[in-house]
């Protein structure tokens, strides 16, 4: 292997061939499908027989599918609200847990336990808690005005019930990011502010928040990208229902493709997901400077 | 274990105890004992944390206590009655079902994914950092584009691909896409770790007459150990908790993995909530053990790539 790369100027350096296995593997199971999904969106494909070219038929159906606007709207709302709720809780919580102290590190260890749970495990736990007859919902519901305790079966409440579970799943991760970042803030800044007579709230807004700016960006980007992949929690909790009240875009795609075996049209929905994902990934490389870092330090 | 150093300095300080800035805590002032005590108490912070403690704690308490009680007790006395005569009966029920098979399948998938990702990512990262060629750098940006593509976007063509190569309903159908989707972040983490290696080390070993193969084994591999541990944990979590690929690409009970099995139990045991909770508790047992033994490494693996 190495003999191919040992030209005089390149002695001992690994050549392109070293990256080939990873590229081929990634190409076959990630990139090839990304290309193929565009092709499949122009076909009729039921999953059993080979796809048949159908031209623009599937794409024309976008305009007449009332669920697609609904699912895009739900995805957008879920993304936005998840970002707001999760940041509003994870940031102060991470900052709080960043301070030293036995109590706080015990609390932190406890708060990170949901990180270990899969989406399926969390969804099953919460669907039990949301059970209107035997779950926690039957106790909490009457206290907050939901007399029958039926949260996920109620078209108005299902969306927010799902939002809560998703927040429960992902807040620990972002708390961890903020905890790490808050620990890196120089303590001298706080000492100086204390001498100047700044109170705790003033210190938070004038020191902590500006110092956490990069982490706020990273965490926000991860939330935005991650929200495109919210899937099993909703599938298990509500199946997209009641009606289509929680049928976000990935779920609409899955149900169309693998419950209705309408994989051609499901590919149209998948292309929309793909475009959204790629756009976000371009934003990531821009915002976080991965690409810049790569070009500056490439090849040493 | 102490030879490992995590890549993320913030995470690293999670468990060891060098003197560390006391972020929001004000230093004591000479204003008297009561004054300093009053200043150190953070009332809004404390209240907020207490609320969050309840929100996290109640479901977890419910999970573990329910898994130990009888179904009749649960239905008669409600979810939060004080547990009477806890037992391991529900766990016995689970262990006598197909659950051990699911456990084994998931274990195989996890190990295979970790091996594939590490074996593919390390040479690729080495080439990206050290080849000195523009073409390899372009590979890097290409792979990075895969970071944000949701798996749902490619699941239809993956289904077509997997059926065409006759891997549908095999463990390979889960392993291959799971590994491919873990690869971009693994390469990202490894490249940033290898970039921190001084280039003099590479030059020295090349002057010694070592080719790139020997440099990989005697220099790159030992220096990447902690990064490999990080991406190993990251990949293992992805594989163990994976849901979409098994859901779409397998069907038979013989290749069922744990996450699908859990969903199955819900249909199978219906109202027998304690058995379902016991299955959920068992499914997270391996990760819980890893968490208790090596919290630092687990957290580093979880935040892999985002500690920039």
Is pLDDT larger for residue A162 or for residue B36? A162
| Chain B residue at shortest CA distance from A116 | B287
Lowest mean pLDDT among A156-170, A188-202, A236-250, B172-186: A188-202
Please name the helix (run of DSSP H) or strand (run of DSSP E) that holds residue A23, with its range, or none.
helix A20-26
DSSP B200: H
State which residue of chain A sits closest to B286, comparing Cα positions: A116
CB A116 within 8 A of CB B57: no
Residue in B136, B215, B280 nearest the CB of A16: B136
Asked if B306 and A254 come within 8 Å (Cβ–Cβ), the reply is no
Domain boundaries, given as residue ranges, for chain A:
66-297
Confidence of residue B41 (pLDDT cuts 50, 70, 90): low
Distance from CA of A44 to the nearest CA of B (A): 12
Residue of A19, A144, A216 lying closest to B127 (CA atoms): A19
Contact in structure between B113 and B238 (CB atoms under 8 Å): yes
pLDDT at A11: 63
- The CATH homologous superfamily for domain A66-297 is MetI-like (1.10.3720.10)
Q: Which of residues 57-76 of A touch B (CB under 8 A)?
A: none
The model carries a pTM of 0.85
**Partner B contacted by A78 (CB < 8 A):** no
Does residue B175 belong to the interface with chain A, where contact is any CB pair within 8 Å?
A: no
In this complex, which of B25, B156, B277 lies closest to A267 when CB atoms are compared?
A: B156
Region B178-189 average pLDDT: 91
Cα-based angle B95, B99, B100 (whole degrees, multiple of 5): 75
pLDDT band at B138 (very low <50, low <70, confident <90, very high): confident
Q: What is the CA angle A216-A219-A225, rounded to 5?
A: 135
Residue A46 has pLDDT above 80, yes or no: yes
What per-residue confidence (pLDDT) applies to A204?
Answer: 87
Per-residue confidence band for A1, with pLDDT thresholds at 50, 70 and 90: very low
Computed over every residue of chain A, the mean pLDDT equals: 85
The average confidence (pLDDT) of chain B is 81
pLDDT digits (tens, 9 = 90+) for B278-298: 999 999 888 888 888 877 777
Domain boundaries, chain B: 30-94, 98-302
Contact assignment for B153 to A273 by CB distance below 8 Å: yes
Q: Report the distance separating Cα A269 and Cα A92, nearest Å.
A: 37
Q: What are A186-227's pLDDT values in tens digits?
A: 888 888 888 888 888 888 888 888 888 888 888 888 888 888
Chain A residues 163-192 with a CB less than 8 Å from chain B: 168, 172-173, 176-177, 179-187, 190-191
Among A73-77, A103-107, B218-222, name the most confident range. Answer: A73-77
User: Considering only A241-255, A282-296, B268-282, which range has the smallest mean pLDDT?
Assistant: A282-296
Name the pLDDT band for A157 (thresholds 50, 70, 90).
Answer: very high
| pLDDT tier, A158 (very low <50, low <70, confident <90, very high otherwise) | very high
B305 band by pLDDT with thresholds 50, 70 and 90:
low
SS3 of residue A57 by DSSP = helix
Of A19, A200, A277, the CB nearest to B127: A19
Q: How far is CA A4 from the centre of its chain?
A: 42
Judge contact between A136 and B62, C-beta under 8 A: yes
Fold of the CATH domain B98-302: MetI-like fold (1.10.3720)
How far, in Å, CA of B87 to CA of A44, rounded?
54
More confident residue, A235 or A225: A235
Query: At residue A134, does pLDDT exceed 70?
Result: yes
Contacts of B275 in chain A (CB under 8 A): none
- The Cα of A155 is separated from the nearest Cα of chain B by a number of Å equal to 23
| Arithmetic mean of pLDDT, B210-226 | 81
> Among A68-82, A115-129, B12-26, B214-228, which stretch is predicted with the lowest mean pLDDT?
B12-26
Question: Would you state the pLDDT for residue A185?
Answer: 87
Nearest CB to B280 within list A124, A173, A284: A124
| Residue B224 sits at the chain A interface (C-beta within 8 Å) | no
Q: How far apart are CA B252 and CA A133, in angstroms?
A: 33
Is the Cβ pair B148, A200 closer than 8 Å? no
The pLDDT of residue A3 is above 50: no
Chain B residues closer than 8 Å to A225 by CB? 147-148, 150
Instruction: Round to whole Å and give the CA distance between A147 and A161.
Output: 16
Give the closest residue to A18 by CA, choosing from B187, B195, B225, B172. Answer: B187
3-state secondary structure of B264: helix
Most A-contacting residue of B45, B69, B74, B148 (CB-CB within 10 A), to test interface = B148
pLDDT score of A233 more than 80: yes
Residue A172 in this model has a pLDDT that exceeds 80: yes
Task: Pick A129's closest partner by Cβ from B59, B176, B205.
Answer: B59
pLDDT of B143 above 50: yes
């Amino acid at each position: 292997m190495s003999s191919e790369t040992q030209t005089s100027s390149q002695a001992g350096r690994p050549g392109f061939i070293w990256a080939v296995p990873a590229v081929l593997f990634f190409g076959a199971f990630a990139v090839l499908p990304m290309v193929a999904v565009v092709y499949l969106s122009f076909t009729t494909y039921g999953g059993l027989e080979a796809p048949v070219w159908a031209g623009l038929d599937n794409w024309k159906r976008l305009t007449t599918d009332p669920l697609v606007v609904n699912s895009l709207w739900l995805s957008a709302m879920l993304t936005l609200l998840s970002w707001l709720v999760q940041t509003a809780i994870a940031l102060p919580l991470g900052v709080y847990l960043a301070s030293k102290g036995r109590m706080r590190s015990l609390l932190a260890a406890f708060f990170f336990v949901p990180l270990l749970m899969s989406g399926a495990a969390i969804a099953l736990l919460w669907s039990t808690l949301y059970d209107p007859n035997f779950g926690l919902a039957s106790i909490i519901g009457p206290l907050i005005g939901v007399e029958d305790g039926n949260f996920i079966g109620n078209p108005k409440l299902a969306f927010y019930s799902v939002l809560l579970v998703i927040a429960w799943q992902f807040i620990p991760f972002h708390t961890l990011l903020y905890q790490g970042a808050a620990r890196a803030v120089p303590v001298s800044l706080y000492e100086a502010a204390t001498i100047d007579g700044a109170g705790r709230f003033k210190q938070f807004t004038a020191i902590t928040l500006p110092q956490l700016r990069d982490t706020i960006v990273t965490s926000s980007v991860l939330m935005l990208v991650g929200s495109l992949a919210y899937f099993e929690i909703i599938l298990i909790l509500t199946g997209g229902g009641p009606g289509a009240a929680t049928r976000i875009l990935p779920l609409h795609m899955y149900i169309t493709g693998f419950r209705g075996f309408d994989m051609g049209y499901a590919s149209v929905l998948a292309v929309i997901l793909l475009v959204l994902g790629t756009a976000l990934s371009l934003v990531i490389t821009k915002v976080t400077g991965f690409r810049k870092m790569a070009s500056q330090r490439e090849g040493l | 274990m102490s030879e490992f150093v995590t890549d993320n300095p913030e995470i690293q300080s999670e468990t060891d105890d060098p003197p560390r800035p006391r972020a929001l805590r004000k230093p004591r002032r000479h204003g008297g004992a009561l004054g300093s005590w009053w200043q150190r108490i953070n009332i809004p912070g404390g209240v907020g944390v207490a609320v969050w403690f309840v929100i996290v704690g109640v479901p977890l308490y419910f999970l573990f206590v329910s898994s130990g009680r009888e179904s009749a007790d649960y239905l008669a006395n409600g979810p939060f009655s004080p547990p009477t005569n806890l037992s391991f009966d529900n766990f016995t029920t689970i262990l006598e079902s197909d659950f051990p098979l699911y456990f084994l399948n998931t274990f195989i998938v996890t190990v295979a994914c970790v091996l594939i990702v590490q074996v593919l990512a390390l040479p690729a990262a080495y080439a990206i950092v050290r080849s000195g060629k523009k073409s390899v750098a372009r590979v890097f940006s290409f792979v990075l584009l895969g970071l944000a593509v949701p798996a749902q976007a490619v699941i239809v063509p993956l289904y077509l691909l997997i059926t065409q190569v006759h891997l549908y309903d095999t463990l390979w159908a889960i392993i291959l896409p799971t590994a491919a989707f873990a690869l971009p972040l693994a390469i990202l983490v490894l490249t940033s770790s290898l970039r921190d290696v001084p280039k003099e080390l590479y030059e020295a070993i090349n002057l010694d007459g070592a080719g790139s193969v020997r440099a990989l084994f005697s220099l790159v591999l030992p220096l990447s150990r902690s990064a490999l541990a990080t991406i190993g944990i990251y990949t293992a979590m992805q594989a163990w908790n994976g849901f979409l690929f098994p859901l779409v690409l397998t069907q038979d009970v013989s290749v069922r993995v744990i996450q699908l099995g859990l969903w199955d139990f819900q249909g199978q045991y219906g109202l027998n909530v304690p058995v379902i909770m016991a299955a959920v508790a068992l499914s997270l047992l391996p990760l819980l053990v890893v968490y208790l033994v090596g919290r630092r490494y687990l957290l580093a693996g979880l935040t892999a790539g985002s500690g920039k």
